[in-house]
Amino acid sequence: MDIFLTNNLTNKKEQFIPSNKDNVGMYVCGPTVYDDPHIGNARPLVVFDILFKLLKNNFSKVTYVRNITDIDDKIIKSSQDQKISTKELTEKVTLGFFEDCKFLNCESPTHEPKATEHIDLMIEMINQLIEKGFAYENNNHVYFEVKKFSDYGKLSNKKLDELIAGSRVEVSENKKNSEDFVLWKPSHKDEPSWDSPWGKGRPGWHLECSAMSKKFLGNEFDIHGGGIDLIFPHHENEIAQSRCANDSKIFAKYWIHNAFITMSNEKMAKSQGNILKIKDFRNKISGQVIRLALLSTHYKQPLDWNDKLINDCQNTLDKWYRIYSSNIKSIQVTEQVLKPLYEDLNTPGYIANLHQLYEKAQKGQSIELFISACKFIGLLNEDKKQWEKYKKDKVSISENEINKKIELRNKARANKEYKKADQIRDELLDKGVLIEDKDGKTLWKFK
């Protein structure tokens, strides 16, 4: 069966035809490890894990690359705020990220390269861009000259002036033009740095993915993925520098982006103070519940995160586990059941098929197919004993205590003390109380 994907480069749903059917290449932008990942970061982890599974079901070899950005301005600032080294910070956050992936039952990619282990490749690419006239050095900075690349803006489907007007472009007197982006910058004292022809410094964020994708997938490959917020400037800049350095007509053939997760229809972001970290859910709820929730809406549509969604997914899995047995043999999932996934990863359609299979399995029909179909998308991966351990009794807490803690949390959020607000939310969650910010009010209920 043919796979169809929405390609943001063409703004069309297209049949997926790999350059080499014997080795499909996929690169997905991974985390910048300055802080623990939140639920918004979990969405691409699960979406592209599903795509990885689907590709492996159709092709003999799939090379999936997901990078770790372990050098970046955010990392340096966070390490300074915490008074620890960048190495200590990135190792701690990376370890937590891997635990989150395990919790969500995501398969490991084929390669997970770290940026700091590929600085030499980045320096080599910068040299190529300078030699070919696409980049320039000024005062120990190196910039890509955007006007030299005529296809700039094709992924965003906007003209250069529109892109600049609608984004936060770094202002620097070292640039020739405001839209030019940094490839190399000098490091300040006590910041991580590497030797280069332009002095001690570090690479620009956009360059890192171009160098690592080239190493593991070549100059051109099949699929590039990530969150919708990466289209501009990150992915636009990746295309520009990669095509110019490699003299290639394309970089990736298919560009796939997932939409945001919202809370009360507001984008989940640290600036909003509405972050839910993945690690907050560990030992409190099964990762399968989070995974099913993330798959409940098509990846191209915003997903609003709320208590009802979590409760519905918990109840669905409770129901499915009633007929689950680890002794049942896995079988090949039929194309009819898989069909929604072939149609642009329609996970809600696939979940609808699972509900239909469950109804049959209750009557003793196709139980092997039902369980195998659940496992195909990473569900029913725990035995019943493991599943039951998450069903804990609520810890006693009075309504007066809950309201006092919510009041303290609201004050912390108003003062932008988001860490304190998160701690209060976690304390309530430990006691079995779920809270939700909606229409300017904070609602709560027992989970």
Q: Residue 266: is its pLDDT beyond 90?
A: no
* Rounded Cα gap, residues 54 and 175, in angstroms: 44
Q: Tens of pLDDT along 117-171?
A: 999 999 999 999 999 999 999 999 999 999 999 999 999 988 877 776 656 567 7
Percent of the chain scoring above 90 in pLDDT: 77
Which pLDDT band, with edges at 50, 70 and 90, does 440 fall under? confident
Give the dihedral sign, CA 51/269/178/207: negative
Q: Report the pLDDT value the prediction gives residue 445, as an integer from 0 to 100.
A: 79
Instruction: For residue 407, give every residue at least 6 positions away whose Cβ sits within 8 Å of its Cβ, in sequence order, or none.
Output: none
Mean pLDDT of 241-247: 98
> What's the chain's average pLDDT?
92
Q: Report the pLDDT value the prediction gives residue 271, as an integer from 0 to 100.
A: 66
Q: Report the pLDDT value the prediction gives residue 394, as an integer from 0 to 100.
A: 41
Q: 262 with 437: CB under 8 angstroms?
A: no
* Rounded Cα gap, residues 431 and 446, in angstroms: 9
Q: Tens of pLDDT along 81-92?
A: 999 999 999 999
Mean pLDDT of 242-265: 95
Q: Which residue has the higher pLDDT, 184 or 267?
A: 184
Mean pLDDT of 52-77: 97
Q: Is the peptide bond before 233 cis (omega within 30 degrees of 0)?
A: yes
Which pLDDT band, with edges at 50, 70 and 90, does 5 fall under? very high
* Rounded Cα gap, residues 209 and 206, in angstroms: 6
Q: Report the pLDDT value the prediction gives residue 419, as an integer from 0 to 100.
A: 85
Q: Which of 221, 296, 254 is nearest to 47 (CA)?
A: 296
pTM over 0.85: yes
* Rounded Cα gap, residues 438 and 82, in angstroms: 32
Q: Which of 157, 161, 131, 128 is nearest to 146 (CA)?
A: 161
Which pLDDT band, with edges at 50, 70 and 90, does 395 fall under? very low
Q: Report the pLDDT value the prediction gives residue 393, as an integer from 0 to 100.
A: 40
Q: Tens of pLDDT along 339-370?
A: 999 999 999 999 999 999 999 999 999 999 99
Q: Which residue has the higher pLDDT, 437 or 58?
A: 58
SS (H, E, C) the chain: CCCEEEECCCCEEEECCCCCCCCEEEEECCCECCCCCEHHHHHHHHHHHHHHHHHHHHCCCEEEEECEECCCHHHHHHHHHHCCCHHHHHHHHHHHHHHHHHHCCCCCCCECCEHHHCHHHHHHHHHHHHHCCCEEEECCEEEECHHHCCCCCCCCCCCHHHHHHCCCCCCCCCCCCCCCEEEEEECCCCCCCECCCCCCEEECHHHHHHHHHHHHHCCCEEEEEEEHHHHHHHHHHHHHHHHHHHCCCCCEEEEEEECCEEECCEECCHHHCCCCEHHHHCCCCCHHHHHHHHHCCCCCCCEECCHHHHHHHHHHHHHHHCCCCCCCCCCCCCHHHHHHHHECCCHHHHHHHHHHHHHHHHCCCCHHHHHHHHHHCCCCCCCHHHHHCCCCCCCCCCHHHHHHHHHHHHHHHHCCCHHHHHHHHHHHHHCCEEEEEECCEEEEEEC
